[in-house]
Amino acid sequence: MPVLAEVVDLTKTFTLGRGGSVVPVLRGITAQVAPGEFLAVVGPSGSGKSTLLYCMSGLEPATAGVVRILGRTVGALSRSALAALRRDHVGFVFQSYNLIPSLSARENVALPARLARRRISAAEVDRALADVGLAEQAAHRPGTLSGGQQQRVAVARVLALRPDIVFADEPTGALDTESGAQVLDLLAGVPGDGRSLVMVTHDLQAAARADRVLVLRDGAVHSELRNPSADDVFKAITC
Amino acid sequence: MLRLIVSDLLANARIWLGTLLIATATAAVGAVAASDIQTAIEAGGTVALALYAISGVMIAFTTITALIVAGSVAGLTVSLQLRAYALWQLVGVRPAYVRIVVTTQLALVALIGGTLGCLAALPALGPLYRYALAESPDLGELHPAFGAGAAVPVVLFVIAVVTLAGTRSAGRAAHTPPIRSLHEIDRPDQRMNFARAMAGLATLVIIAGILVSLPATALEQLSVPLMLIAPLVAGVLAAFAPLYLARLLRDWTALVPERASSSWYLARSTTAFGVARSTATINPITVAVALAGGLYSANGTASGGGSVRTGSVVLLLGGPLLLALLGATATIFMSSRRRDREFALVVAAGATRTVVLAAAAWEAVIYTVTATILGAAAVCVTAVAGGWAAGTWTPSLGLGAVATIAGLGLVLTLAATVLPTAAALRHEVPQTLAAE
């Protein structure tokens, strides 16, 4: 079965300070993301969830092991080739929204296409914003939008470009229940047509919507669940 | 309180180092003018008269530059830390206390910088005087004096300029609801206020006074009042910058179509949106262009194209020019952490390193060209006024000086934007984004 992204025996360590001790964060993880799949990554704080996401998406280099996106080995790519791969095939949604403050919602949505020198019409951008319920706020800058609205703009940015794989790091972590549910509904619509979603979350209900859940503990895969309920996820994390 | 002041200074070392550098440079430049006066008092006679004439222009140039540069830097120092001040308030620090802490920090850094600047100037005064006054038979052998009596007013001046300029921003930091500061990490606004308007209007009145006095001034003495006009106009432009600068930036940068380059598009939106940051960089370069262009324009117009002695230029303009260009560079350096974060966001959105580096370079170009437009406008006022007063229709525009300073400003701002960006690109995006 083809995979969109995979990590093989992935290890990541961080060094504390200059010449300080080496802290292992990921310890030999192997995982794949299939086309059309919604993969959730859960685990206690400090278990390495976000680091796995960043390594898998090519935002953070691995210390050891192999990371492949669309069959291309990330470690073998030059910085600009990796940037082009991310630009053309990968979308990101972070916990803290991460919109460009100087650009309006509309301009933020259009930015990846502009950077990729890909034509995206104003109608397509407006439709992406309308899909997330923010057609009226298209001209607003991020600073004038609520947290939930900013996150929906970030989702619209991803939806507009239709990347092959979307990585979301705690996308509902800073939102209230209603806004979180809206964002989750939007992201849950990504998988399909061969496109995949990888989402790190603390939210058991959100994880329960995934096709597959990886439970991380101490930087290793503790268990893997398929189509679990929220209770299943809770038990896997706590036992 | 002391613990809060010191720990905040250390945590935001990059910002405060920029403030310290400018306080030091302001004091060093001020020390040259103060030394000139003390030397004149001790020398007496015709030497004193000659030195008083020099010190008058020097003090005017230094004061205008210091007010603009140190003022811009102090304001930026506070505005870059609004998020931290909001967090202080959220853990229970009263707004009035925030203001006291910020003002104390500014005064402390100004005191240290002022003292360091005076100490740094001491060994440079002798060589500077010998070089600048070598062609003057009466002043060539002069030994500059600079004691505590001259140093204390310089340090007090630096403390006053930095603290007063930052106090308004400190008040704003204290009175802005903390949630708003946290929500809008990069507050773009730089509003016109009463103090700015008054400072601008007062400077306009001084310019008007100089203009009125010009027809009655002898041609050979015309260059001195004329050379004051351009920096004063730069002062007016700096004071009223919130009214027009964002519009000016947007308008002239629109000459390059947005579709032409992604990097230009990013640089344009960043500079036009972050007006507070852009102003802090543009104002010092504007005053540098106005100082140099104004001096050459005034001299060229009043003397019918006669040249200016290099020694005079170094003595009159060296310090203020150094301060202005250092100020522009320091403001970029101070806000580079914010720039790092913005570029990390752009990389996460799909930009390549080349696009990011080009955007940083375009930012420097936008700052310098905007400042050159404003500085050249100030020089034009000098040239037109000089032509009118001297009765000539061919006033000198000091184009060579304007171009030289603009080029120097471009090199320095390019270094200040591109080098830190290149260094920041070595870090991984998640690390940079997590640093806020």
The structure tokens listed for B83 are 């998020």
Q: Which residues of A touch B (CB under 8 A)?
A: 50, 54, 59-61, 79-80, 83-84, 86-88, 92, 94, 96, 98-103, 107, 111-112, 114-117, 141, 143-144, 157
Topology (CATH level 3) of domain A5-238: Rossmann fold (3.40.50)
Question: Measured between beta carbons, which residues in chain B are less than 8 angstroms from residue A107?
Answer: 269
Long-range contacts (CB closer than 8 Å, 24 or more residues apart) made by A224-228: none
pLDDT profile of chain B (436 residues), mean per 10: 74 88 94 89 81 83 88 84 77 78 89 95 87 72 85 94 82 68 56 84 94 84 87 94 91 88 91 85 93 89 68 81 91 84 84 91 96 95 88 78 93 93 84 68
Closest residue, chain A, to B338 (C-alpha): A101
Ranges of each domain in chain B:
1-184, 200-436
Residue pair B388/B334 in contact (Cβ under 8 Å)? The answer is: no
Q: What pLDDT is attached to residue B159?
A: 94
Q: Ramachandran region of residue B126, left (φ > 0), alpha (ψ -120 to 50) or beta?
A: alpha
Residue pair B258/B306 in contact (Cβ under 8 Å)? The answer is: no
Question: Measured between beta carbons, which residues in chain B are less than 8 angstroms from residue A111?
Answer: 346, 349-350
Per-residue pLDDT tens digits for B107-159: 999 999 999 999 999 999 888 888 877 777 677 677 888 988 999 999 999 99
Helix (H) / strand (E) element for B177: namely none
Question: Measured between beta carbons, which residues in chain A are less than 8 angstroms from residue B269?
Answer: 100, 102-103, 107
Q: What pLDDT is attached to residue B193?
A: 79
Q: What pLDDT is attached to residue B436?
A: 54
Please, is B2 exposed, middle or buried when counting C-beta atoms within 10 Å of its C-beta (0-12, 13-18, 19+)?
A: exposed
Distance of CA B417 to the CA centre of its chain: 17
Strand order of the β-sheet with A64-69 is A22-33, A5-15, A64-69, A72-73
Q: What pLDDT is attached to residue B129?
A: 82
- Residue corresponding to tokens 């991310």: A86
**HSE toward the beta carbon, residue B147, CA cutoff 13 A:** 6
> Which residue in A63, A67, A64 sits closest to A33, CA to CA?
A67
**Residues of chain A falling short of pLDDT 70:** 1, 17-18, 97
Question: Measured between beta carbons, which residues in chain A are less than 8 angstroms from residue B358?
Answer: none
Contact state of B273 with A84 under an 8 Å Cβ cutoff: no
Please, is A11 exposed, middle or buried when counting C-beta atoms within 10 Å of its C-beta (0-12, 13-18, 19+)?
A: middle
Residue by residue, DSSP assigns B110-143 as: HHHHHHHHHHHHHHHHHHHHHHHTTT-TTTTT--
Contact state of B433 with A96 under an 8 Å Cβ cutoff: yes
How are beta strands A38-42 and A196-200 bridged, if at all?
A: parallel
Contact state of B349 with A112 under an 8 Å Cβ cutoff: yes
d(CA B217, CA B241): 32
The structure tokens listed for B17 are 């180092």
Query: Nearest-5° angle of CA A194, CA A200, CA A204?
Result: 105
pTM for the structure as a whole: 0.82
> Which residue in B286, B309, B289 sits closest to B299, CA to CA?
B309
Residue B380 neighbours by CB distance under 10 Å = 18
Per-residue pLDDT tens digits for A133-177: 888 999 998 888 888 888 889 889 888 888 899 999 888 877 778
The structure tokens listed for B151 are 């140093």
d(CA B238, CA A106): 32
Per-residue pLDDT tens digits for B199-219: 999 999 999 999 999 888 887
Long-range contacts (CB closer than 8 Å, 24 or more residues apart) made by B126-131: B128/B32, B128/B314, B128/B315, B128/B318, B131/B311, B131/B314
Query: Nearest-5° angle of CA B41, CA B45, CA B50?
Result: 80
Adjacent-strand bridge partners of A38: A197
